[in-house]
Structure 1
């Protein structure tokens, strides 16, 4: 069986990554790409690198027209836009994987506090948070997936197992995270202008980044009590990649061996989670072009402070790669299909 797919909002960076992944997927085909700003244009006019690999033309979004063509639609749309598109697709019997924040939250009020009033709250109640390694069973039967953000993915994958195993305190968690510029999207912005970013480094949205409530909601469920992580994102002058350095306090008498055993137990059968050997830590260059999350750690025995470091490609495991992984789970095919290769090894 070939899974028939479409991508709404294909003209952005995550849209391009989805086109590349589906074009090389052994069990999926790309039937349509939509873009309001580029409708009528060949996809290869927008991204010339795809010449000879894709011949689709961008069309306006039309849920009824898509219903006769596809099984699933990836919504690679801006936050606040997907919630208008998703209900129309669900009504047509099409599954949805949304890469925006619109369907990531369990609590509509938490979403509305940082975005806007939600126009599809009933569908929000149904959506499944698509962190594949932690929610696989629910993803299998879902009609709509809220694909996690890149920063949350890099932070949640190391922390959730340790909180569930009661090895670290839910209080005092800190993440110092660095992202490549592609995480800001393809739209023009002064803050991501070459002259502003090149040879520069600094934090942004300190104390008010909109991914913080998403992270806290998942950590609170894992811990079984309120969690409020301090999250400080930084922009680094590279195109893609993300590294999060996370600080946690271990519970009393917890040793480094227990941390390693817990992470290995949770992730030993996960094809895209790589627990690094002692004294090895993630590097952007080592995860770029993969759907992997690398995790390394160091425990300070005197203080009991645990330093976790995770690395992902923000456009793949942090967005489009994880979306395809979700699709594979939803349609009960090999989870690694289309993802078990390295796009950009250098």
Structure 2
């Protein structure tokens, strides 16, 4: 049985990790931490987990976490890089759901996140945990940087086109929408029901922290820097991401559906929908699945990819568990056979 710890277990990604791992046949959660909720039992904070855990939140302690085989960080940026180096040196596998290790250019990271990176050597070693791209590197990693939610939906949607150099890589457009859970569980006026309901707005149009992460991933796939316009939007729903991705084909082709189906044929958590489909966020709610469809409107040179995920599952906790499974040589789907909730 693999013993895991979760640092920052009171947020939405933390409780999703607990929900998923409660049904994992090979994993036991030994430590759950929160400075603000020390002593409170998991089931008292999250009654949906009653009967699944007999643990209370404790203050993060490296000595106790070092007894785990793996530790998840479901924390704001700046936390993982302060604790992860010592855990890694003591033989613990670390999976960071935050942003500390996603971007390789640490000067660029510091500009977007407003602080100096304190673990540059570990950042250089960290493997970007998008299994559909880096599965082999993940198997041997000590430190995994779990991708962000928007970057997951956008990269999976664009990869078949970018990898095959079918589109103009200089002029990519990602028009993305997210539910309010993407803002986290902390008190925030903009996330209140009365503020977000019956409304729809863009944010971060001039620049969003996920932009350099997306450009980095697509640039690796393209073998050169890409040009990307990324505009996220807040929608009046709790969870889900819908990415509408636009690009211009170099040579119009009718083989896009087959291209996408072939690229993801062996991927357990990417579902290429039949031609003409319009995937819905509700079809992935609670599940570790990305559903994709590809369209050429009016058979012109513009290609539109529609990509949907649950931001808390394939965009966070589910993908983290997928990485854990690969890392420890388990069945990649272990604990992740969750059917989406409908309605």
TM range (shorter): over 0.9
* Runs of 5+ consecutive residues of structure 1 not aligned to the other structure: none
How far apart are the structure 1 equivalents of 2:82 and 2:283? 38
**Residue matched to 2:269:** 272
**Residue matched to 1:125:** 124
Residues 1:306 and 1:343: Cα distance change in structure 2 (over 3 Å): closer
How far apart are the structure 2 equivalents of 1:197 and 1:334? 39
**Residue matched to 1:300:** 297
Residue pairs, 1:47-196, within 5 angstroms:
47-68=46-67, 70-115=68-113, 116-196=115-195
Residue pairs, 1:280-291, within 5 angstroms:
280-291=277-288
How far apart are the structure 1 equivalents of 2:34 and 2:326? 27
Pairwise CA distance, 1:343: 5.5
1:165–1:262: 8 Å Cα contact kept in structure 2? Answer: no
Pairwise CA distance, 1:188: 0.5
Pairwise CA distance, 1:161: 2.2
1:175–1:230: 8 Å Cα contact kept in structure 2? Answer: yes
The alignment status of 1:198 with 2:221, answered yes or no, reads: no
Residue pairs, 1:9-28, within 5 angstroms:
9-28=8-27
**Residue matched to 2:254:** 256
Given the two structures, how large is their TM-score scaled by the length of structure 1? 0.96
- Which residue of 304, 311, 316 maps to 2:308? 311
Write the deviation string for residues 196-216 of structure 1: whole angstroms up to 9, x where unpaired. Answer: 101111101112111001001
Residue pairs, 1:318-337, within 5 angstroms:
318-337=315-334
Pairwise CA distance, 1:301: 5.1
How far apart are the structure 1 equivalents of 2:27 and 2:52? 15
**Residue matched to 2:219:** 220
Structure 1 residue ranges, 4+ long, deviating more than 4 angstroms after superposition = none
Given the two structures, how large is their TM-score scaled by the length of structure 2? 0.97
How far apart are the structure 1 equivalents of 2:197 and 2:318? 27
**Residue matched to 2:42:** 43
SS for the counterpart of 2:296 is strand
Pairwise CA distance, 1:195: 1.0
* Runs of 5+ consecutive residues of structure 2 not aligned to the other structure: none
Counting matched residue pairs gives 342
Residues 1:63 and 1:173: Cα distance change in structure 2 (over 3 Å): same
